[in-house]
Structure 1
Amino acid sequence: MRILHTSDWHIGRSFHGNSTLDALEQVLDELVAQVREHSVDVVIVAGDVFDSSMPAADCYGVLTRALTGIRETSARVVVTSGNHDSAARLGFLAPLLEDGVHVLTDAAVVGTPITLSDEHGPVHFYGVPYLEPALVRRTWPEVTLRTQGQVVGHAMSLVNADRAERGGRSVAIAHCFAAGVEPTPQLEREVRQDLRQGSLDVVPLSDFKGPDYVALGHIHGRAELAPQIRYSGAPLHYSFGEAHKPRGSWLVDLDADGVSDIAWLDLPVPRRLTVLRGELEDLLENPALDAHIDDWICAVLTDRLPQREPMRRLRERFPYCATIDLQPERDGEAADTRTYRERVGRGVPDPQVIDDFLDHVRRGERASDDERQLLADVISEHRAQATA
């Protein structure tokens, strides 16, 4: 049996205010072509099909066309819900879907597989959708469930108990943050805000032992946590922090004894993501940057002082400039990384408060001698009026 492991489509997500629907549909068309070219039997979508619990109408069209294209190749589809999806909305039509499209969103049926067969016999697909601890306690009241780790651990115990009874080959599908992914600032933005980067909400890899293959979703970059436990990542780049990560899916072959081969299939990148760093005038005039005119651009401006209309001017040269990050470079002493509020505490003289404020808003440019004298005169006059 040949399986294509994908996840985190996030249909409907914007990219710095720009729609991604057309780009995603282009990529999903290529995914369908790969399903046909490689004679895939089963396509897995491991959660976060939509980016919102209430997707817009055109998002459903993108999903419908993708699923229809996959089914036209004769491949079957197994979908689970993620933290961005509404399990109820994604799953309410599941009983009415055509044979060959399976949507798994209900915690009550975790441990009950979708069983598909090939020439070697049955393969059991166990879906573990994203499960909120507060919502599944009523489903499993006999178990202490306060964290994602406890919830997924219990779900996998149900999966493994059923596996032991049924026998045969098996694939688990889960949407969670599993141990083994390096916690970086960008990764913290990829995971849901209520998934804290502490040990309480991390699922140990040991919980995923048992199935022949574990298809994970939730992390947007490709990751191999163990030979048979992997994240496929998202099919599009949804942030500049992901720009260096390839987009694609895992092609997994099962023979009579389990996994026989795993290969990576790249997906196209409709528009490259590029980070350009420098002073505004250099970014506007440097001819070497012509190669990036059609890229999505994050402009990191190092000017010491704020520049006039930087986004408008950048977009005149780079039409797809999506965001600006101000990182002024300072000469001499190291930059003070404290916030303005942290600098201004009780007992700080008024002239120092104002000087620190100017240093903060001017990105390292403090008051000049003339400005200090003017400020001293204004402060003195204000105090005189206050005490009169």
Structure 2
Amino acid sequence: MPPPIGGKIGIPWPAMRVLHTSDWHVGRTFHGRDLLAEQETVLSGLADLVDTERVDALVVSGDLYDRAVPSAEAVDTCARVLRRIADAGAQIVITPGNHDSAPRLGAFAAFARAGGLHLRTAIANLHEPVLLEDAHGPVAFYGIPYLEPEVARHALGDPELRGHAAVLGEAMRRIKTDLDTRKTRSVVLAHAFVIGGETSDSERTIAVGGVPHVPGSLFDGIDYAALGHLHGPQTLAEHLRYSGSPMAYSFSEARHRKSVWLVELDKHGLAGVERRELPVPRVLGTLRGHLADLLTDPAHESEIDKFLSIELTDQVRPIDAMRRLRERFPHALHMDWLPEGGRPRVRRYSETVKGRTDEEVACCFVEDTRNSPPTDTERALLREALAAVAGKERE
């Protein structure tokens, strides 16, 4: 067991301080844009919080990585961040999410423990806590990996379990049974979709295996449940919270205040929870309008440094629009064409080809795609292309 924590610089501290984080998704891209530099900046800031807020333990409730097999660059980034957090003085407890590979993440758990990194990745052992001590005795940290029902019911040794609520219910039953023998304070890390939580566009569905929602009542009797999976910070009950992702991974998260929860456990249990907001490496924004206006209107000057999602309303789809937009807005990542009055009706295939020549079909396609018929020059090019194809077919 690690030595007692709390009061890192020799000054007694009346409560254990835990920093609740989740859904780092190290290695994720945003509409094709690499985010490793931004992720390292934000996540390294957690080490500063550990230091300034006298944090004893930092938890990551799933989705440390964005992929089951992360890139070498993502692993290196994650290793540097975890090292900084450990050097700042916190023990680290991690459990895998639905994006992680639990076996890979936990491969060196026995060795990592010596350095203060506790990887709780085995479903069969989820009732075995990490015990961290402060002046009031131990706090039991239980890690529940993401429980895919079909896999989890066999790992738990009960093939009769069906669905997310059943397997998580069995996991919590085992944890509470163990906790009853210890009579100590408790923190549970769980990667799950608890009823009442609000989703965003960047979360991968966990609906495989039945209804993904689980009741929050499963966590009754726990001093604090550090939830992961949903990317917006949320409070479902005083002891039941999502920290959310440390960065926005979809434009639906533009209004999120990305943050972590600073949790205090005194000798009686949960003493308080406070929000600590995280830095935003690049603000998200949206723009809407005609291409010519977006490229020239000085009112949009403040949007230049943002990650942008842009909606073009031109009646005719502009040619090479994204390249032109990026000349002014270098961080434009996504573009939709939604002409005023709605997009043109796309004709059914049978309507498009019936009684028409190849040239007429091609011209029809151009018109449907951009809401404008081809010019005379474009028609000539289409004829040449069709003639070339017909010539090859005759060879």
Give me the TM-score of the superposition, normalised by structure 2. 0.83
Select 1:65's aligned residue among 72, 80, 94.
Answer: 80
The CA distance in 2 between the partners of 1:349 and 1:105, in whole Å, is 59
Instruction: Give the percent of matched residue pairs that are identical in Structure 1 and Structure 2.
Output: 43
Aligned to 1:167: 183
The CA distance in 2 between the partners of 1:237 and 1:293, in whole Å, is 18
What amino acid is the match of 1:93? F
How many pairs were matched up? 354
Select 1:22's aligned residue among 37, 51, 69.
Answer: 37
Q: Which moved more, 1:138-147 or 1:149-158?
A: 138-147
Give the Å deviation of 1:253. Answer: 0.6
Q: Residue 180 and residue 345 in structure 1: after superposition, are their counterparts in 2 closer, same or farther (change >3 A)?
A: farther
1:249 matched to 2:260? The reply is yes
1:298 matched to 2:298? The reply is no
Give the Å deviation of 1:134. Answer: 2.0
Q: Which moved more, 1:142-151 or 1:262-271?
A: 142-151
Aligned to 1:2: 17
List structure 1 runs of 4+ shifted beyond 6 angstroms.
Answer: 348-351, 353-359
Aligned to 2:384: none
Give the Å deviation of 1:358. Answer: 7.5
Unpaired stretches in structure 2, ≥5 consecutive residues:
1-15, 375-395
**Contact 2:194–2:216 (Cα < 8 Å) also in 1:** yes
Cα deviation per residue 1:206-256 (whole Å; 9 max; x = unaligned)?
111111000011111111111111011111111111111011200001111
Give the Å deviation of 1:58. Answer: 1.4
1:51 matched to 2:63? The reply is no
What amino acid is the match of 1:8? D
The CA distance in 1 between the partners of 2:336 and 2:48, in whole Å, is 38
Q: Residue 103 and residue 356 in structure 1: after superposition, are their counterparts in 2 closer, same or farther (change >3 A)?
A: same
The CA distance in 1 between the partners of 2:293 and 2:314, in whole Å, is 10
Q: CA RMSD in A?
A: 2.5
Aligned to 1:191: 203
- Which residues in structure 2 correspond to 1:23-172 (within 5 Å)? 23-97=38-112, 98-172=114-188
Cα deviation per residue 1:297-317 (whole Å; 9 max; x = unaligned)?
111111121101101100000
**Contact 2:344–2:368 (Cα < 8 Å) also in 1:** no
Aligned to 2:393: none
Select 1:361's aligned residue among 369, 379, 384.
Answer: 369
What SS is found at the alignment partner of 2:295? Answer: helix
Aligned to 1:287: 298
**Contact 2:198–2:230 (Cα < 8 Å) also in 1:** no
The CA distance in 2 between the partners of 1:304 and 1:337, in whole Å, is 10
What SS is found at the alignment partner of 2:176? Answer: helix
Cα deviation per residue 1:100-149 (whole Å; 9 max; x = unaligned)?
21001100101111111111111111100112222223222335233222
What SS is found at the alignment partner of 2:187? Answer: strand
Unpaired stretches in structure 1, ≥5 consecutive residues:
368-388
The CA distance in 2 between the partners of 1:199 and 1:53, in whole Å, is 22
Cα deviation per residue 1:305-362 (whole Å; 9 max; x = unaligned)?
11011011000000111110222211xxxx5898x47x6689x9869x9899787534
Aligned to 2:392: none
Cα deviation per residue 1:19-65 (whole Å; 9 max; x = unaligned)?
11110111112111011000000000111001111111111211111
The CA distance in 2 between the partners of 1:250 and 1:193, in whole Å, is 24
The CA distance in 2 between the partners of 1:362 and 1:71, in whole Å, is 55
Aligned to 1:223: 234
What amino acid is the match of 2:308? I
The CA distance in 2 between the partners of 1:172 and 1:92, in whole Å, is 22
